[in-house]
Amino acid sequence: MAKHHISTTINGEPVEFLCNTEQTMLDVLRDELHLTGTKEGCATGDCGACSITVDGRLVCSCLMLGVEAEGHAIQTIEGMADGDQLHPLQQKFLEYAALQCGICTPGFLVASRALLERNPNPTEEEARYWLAGNLCRCTGYDKIIRAVLDTAADMRGAS
Amino acid sequence: MYAPSFAAPTTVAEAVQLLANASGVARVLAGGTDLLVQLRSGILKPDLIVDTKRIPELRTITTEGGGYRIGASVSGAEAGEHATLSRDWPGIVEAVELIGSTQIQGRASFVGNLCNASPAADSVPALVAAGATVVIAGPNGEREVPVEEVPTGPGSTSLAKGEMVVAVKLPPKPARTGDAYLRFIPRTEMDIAVVGAGVCVTLDEGGTCTAAKVSLGAVAPTVLVVPDAAAALIGNKLDDAALAALDAAARAACKPIDDKRGTIEYRTKVAGVLARRAAATAFKRAGA
């Protein structure tokens, strides 16, 4: 069967790509568009390493087909920093050493940004529940949660 | 090489025609949180995938005659954000929000949860207890059936070829009615129900139960309706005798399996406990 021709927006830029039906959005990002910041962990929606947003909604890109991207606005980790200027969450993850091996980090950052866009002042419990679908085998989560809450406080102070 | 076809129709009629005319296996793609896992693991190799998210009426929640019509592709997150749905039917919204993570919530739907036909589907006992129905579209038009008539066993449904569920309908909520759903898992998030219990009750002005429906998940091949458990509540207030009778009726209805999540004995015991606790919350929400 002929490949599908998909027109979408990724990190604010219009993007077109070709894909087969069975290719996931994660496959398309990594293998077709070479946007390898989005990671594959489990490929079954359990680990959150492949988190992206679609029209602002947080999803696992491993559980979305590439063809479904037609006409939608996708945000990936590559769109998070503004050139060399890191997003406050990225900066704070560095300061808190909220990562070790780094495989889960893009997913945590994308998911955390989606949280703060909806809720600029989350409680620790709210942050932990929001991020329950992002698994990290290194940090024990505490540094990640502290980095997210501290970023939220900074961003509230700045606005 | 395996190469399924893909279609994203914009009307129910077009979707039904695609499903009805498909040669081989056709599958509906709503949130895809079950379908893509099955696709990836090779459990399922559909010849045709029909994405229903471009059909406008499947994407919205509307109020209809005092009740609700929830389109089949509405996600859990959208249901949770609706202005009045969680006020009117908190048990149902809490149940759908128990499914998976924030990421899963962004895509997973009530109808996907129902049609995946897992005995442990969290939103299904809550919908059953509330007396929800589904609207099924097919080559011969539409029909409406109670939610509990859709799953027929693990992974199988009563939908005929060419049929698809287009909406869940919640009835107008009678005065002094409350619903609740509870599930047990060994952790607090991201797990599959060991047991789930949905209870919906209507009370009279004195706090006596006049109508009830009780549903259990993960204790049989399909989600169960337990009339004896409802009967234990009807005519009674929320007292120890009624709760004990409810507990016994819930346990008596269980036909669970032994697996890594729980033994038969354990699941049976927990079903009684959860039924009691869900009933207590439902009574409270009904104004008791």
CATH number of the domain encompassing residue B189: 3.30.390.50
The parent domain of residue A61 ranges over 4-79
Percent with pLDDT over 90 in chain B? 95
Residue B222 predicted with pLDDT over 90: yes
Q: Which one of A63, A113, A141 would you mutate to disrupt binding with B, by most B Cβ within 10 Å of its Cβ?
A: A63
User: Which of B155, B170, B185 is the last residue before a domain boundary?
Assistant: B170
User: Which of A37, A55, A79 is the last residue before a domain boundary?
Assistant: A79
Q: Say if the Cβ atoms of A133 and B39 lie within 8 Å.
A: no
Q: Is any Cβ of chain B less than 8 angstroms from the Cβ of A70? A: yes
CA distance B5 to B74: 24
Same domain, B165 and B183: no
Same domain, A15 and A48: yes
Of the candidates A54, A64, A133, the beta carbon closest to that of B101 is on A133
Question: So what's the pLDDT on residue B64?
Answer: 86
Average pLDDT of the segment spanning B134-162: 98
Residue B202 predicted with pLDDT over 80: yes
pTM listed for this prediction: 0.96
Same domain, A104 and A62: no
CATH number of the domain encompassing residue A104: 1.10.150.120
Quick check: ipTM above 0.90?
A: yes
- In the structure, what pLDDT confidence band is assigned to residue A95 with cuts at 50, 70 and 90? very high
Same domain, B197 and B163: no
Same domain, A44 and A107: no
Average pLDDT, chain B: 96
Of the candidates B8, B36, B107, the beta carbon closest to that of A24 is on B36
CATH number of the domain encompassing residue B26: 3.30.43.10
Of the candidates A68, A115, A129, the beta carbon closest to that of B51 is on A68
- In the structure, what pLDDT confidence band is assigned to residue B191 with cuts at 50, 70 and 90? confident
User: What's the gap in Å between the CA of A75 and the closest CA on chain B?
Assistant: 14
- In the structure, what pLDDT confidence band is assigned to residue A51 with cuts at 50, 70 and 90? very high
Same domain, A147 and A93: yes
Closest chain A residue to the Cα of B105, Cα to Cα: A59
pLDDT tens string B49-106: 999 999 999 999 999 889 999 999 999 999 999 999 999 999 999 999 999 999 999 9
Closest chain B residue to the Cα of A25, Cα to Cα: B36
Q: Say if the Cβ atoms of A133 and B2 lie within 8 Å.
A: no
Average pLDDT, chain A: 97
Same domain, B151 and B251: no
Q: Say if the Cβ atoms of B189 and A132 lie within 8 Å.
A: yes
Residues of B in contact with A49 (CB under 8 A): none
Q: Is any Cβ of chain B less than 8 angstroms from the Cβ of A48? A: yes
Question: So what's the pLDDT on residue A159?
Answer: 72
Q: Say if the Cβ atoms of A132 and B102 lie within 8 Å.
A: yes
Question: So what's the pLDDT on residue B163?
Answer: 98
- C-alpha separations of A154 from A116, A121, A147, B43 in Å: 11, 10, 10, 47
Handedness of CA A116, B85, B122, B10 (dihedral sign): negative
The parent domain of residue B136 ranges over 56-170
- In the structure, what pLDDT confidence band is assigned to residue A1 with cuts at 50, 70 and 90? low
Of the candidates B53, B106, B188, the beta carbon closest to that of A59 is on B106
- Report the domain count for chain B: 3
For chain B, positions 140-179, list CB contacts with chain A under 8 A. none
pLDDT tens string B171-180: 999 999 999 9
Question: So what's the pLDDT on residue A144?
Answer: 98
Residue in this structure with the two tokens 């279609």, named with its chain if needed: B7
CATH number of the domain encompassing residue A50: 3.10.20.30
